[in-house]
């Protein structure tokens, strides 16, 4: 799934053009907030940062998505929950298939659900971001884990089993309305794929995988490792006077000499870690929109989250 800007754009940057820098914490605010734990998350734990500033009222409402979405190159209708024009495919009745859905959008978050006959069908998830789901003992299980919905950030992937039911029925894979924050894109419910169940010509017996892989997944024991360093990073963004797009900052707050500067890809590494060591990282999002945190070619163990439940205890490369 990919996204692209609409002509004339409905990106909330435009809808909230009156947003003042004063509503977003500056660098000195971050230092003070880090030093005084004052935010209690949904899990009841206290975290070293404060609640985000409330979104300012823009006086402009919309019920249209900010971005145009496409699946395998086929553009989706802009109107929410519209079957006409949605990509279609088939699955034989009784057949189980392995599906992978990759969110290759720039900043659209997917909240995936599967519907059949108006009812939610649990998604039989077997892996996330290309790595099998692991149990607490670090052993991967190839048995599908039913999930009512799965949130997939940009660069994230989900792999699941889909089994054809009665011929003539259909599945609808849908992304639900998602609150991306007052500076985030407007993301409303939209159908992504329609799957028609067709009669099966001949069923091929499927060998059920073992309930548990006897070999632990690589790096799945990170939760038992002693980190050699603990780092805290803060992600911030500030509006520009000469552009509709803001400046982006990611700063290592655990470094007392850190300086908040706009991020550019041509800078030298801001952090250097030693091969074979384990570190404990905390990522703080101080912006007024959802952002994805992604590390190329490296999976990490998600320990905890103060916001959206997203793969705790699993090896991911995107949260």
- Give the pLDDT of residue 40: 62
Dist CA 167 CA 202 (whole Å): 13
CA angle 241, 244, 247 (to 5 degrees): 70
Q: What is the pTM of this model?
A: 0.79
Cβ(122)–Cβ(233) under 8 Å? no
Beta-carbon contacts of residue 292 (< 8 Å; ≥ 6 apart): 107, 109, 153, 154, 155, 156, 318, 319
What tokens were used for 275?
A: 């091969």
- Identify the weakest region by mean pLDDT among 73-77, 94-98, 263-267: 263-267
pLDDT in tens, 231-269: 988 887 766 666 666 677 788 888 877 777 666 778 788
State the DSSP code for 70. E
- Give the pLDDT of residue 76: 86
Greater confidence (5 vs 114) lies with 114
What tokens were used for 306?
A: 């103060």
Beta-carbon contacts of residue 93 (< 8 Å; ≥ 6 apart): 164, 165, 166, 167, 197, 198, 199, 200
Dist CA 225 CA 245 (whole Å): 40
Dist CA 230 CA 30 (whole Å): 18
Average pLDDT of the chain, as a whole number: 78
Beta-carbon contacts of residue 168 (< 8 Å; ≥ 6 apart): 197
Banded pLDDT at 207 (limits 50, 70, 90)? low
Q: Is the pLDDT of residue 95 over 70?
A: yes
Q: Is the pLDDT of residue 120 over 80?
A: yes
- Give the pLDDT of residue 131: 86
Q: Is the pLDDT of residue 105 over 50?
A: yes
CA angle 303, 155, 173 (to 5 degrees): 100
- Identify the weakest region by mean pLDDT among 12-21, 173-182, 213-222, 267-276: 12-21
- Give the pLDDT of residue 92: 94
């Amino acid at each position: 799934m990919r996204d692209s800007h609409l002509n004339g754009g409905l990106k909330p940057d435009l809808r909230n053009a009156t947003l003042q820098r004063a509503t977003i914490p500056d660098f000195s605010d971050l230092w003070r907030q880090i030093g005084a734990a004052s935010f209690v998350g949904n899990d009841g734990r206290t975290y070293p940062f404060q609640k985000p500033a409330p979104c300012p009222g823009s006086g402009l409402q919309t019920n249209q998505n900010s971005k145009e979405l496409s699946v395998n190159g086929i553009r989706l209708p802009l109107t929410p929950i519209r079957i006409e024009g949605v990509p279609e495919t088939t699955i034989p009745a009784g057949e189980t298939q392995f599906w992978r859905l990759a969110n290759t959008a720039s900043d659209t978050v997917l909240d995936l659900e599967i519907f059949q006959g108006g009812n939610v069908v649990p998604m039989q998830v077997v892996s996330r971001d290309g790595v099998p789901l692991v149990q607490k003992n670090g052993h991967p299980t190839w048995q599908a884990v039913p999930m009512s919905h799965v949130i997939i950030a940009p660069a994230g992937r989900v792999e699941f089993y889909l089994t054809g039911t009665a011929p003539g029925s259909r599945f609808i894979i849908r992304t639900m309305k998602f609150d991306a924050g007052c500076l985030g894109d407007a993301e409303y419910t939209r159908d992504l794929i329609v799957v028609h169940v067709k009669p099966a010509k001949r069923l091929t017996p499927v060998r059920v995988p073992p309930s548990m892989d006897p070999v632990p997944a690589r790096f799945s024991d990170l939760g038992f490792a002693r980190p050699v360093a603990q780092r805290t990073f803060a992600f911030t963004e500030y509006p520009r006077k000469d552009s509709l797009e803001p400046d982006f900052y990611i700063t290592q707050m655990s470094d007392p000499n850190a300086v908040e500067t706009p991020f550019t890809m041509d800078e030298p590494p801001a952090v250097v870690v030693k091969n074979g060591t384990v570190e404990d990282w905390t990522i703080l999002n101080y912006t007024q929109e959802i952002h994805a945190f992604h590390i190329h070619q490296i999976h990490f163990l998600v320990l905890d989250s103060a916001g959206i439940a997203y793969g705790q205890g699993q090896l991911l490369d995107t949260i």
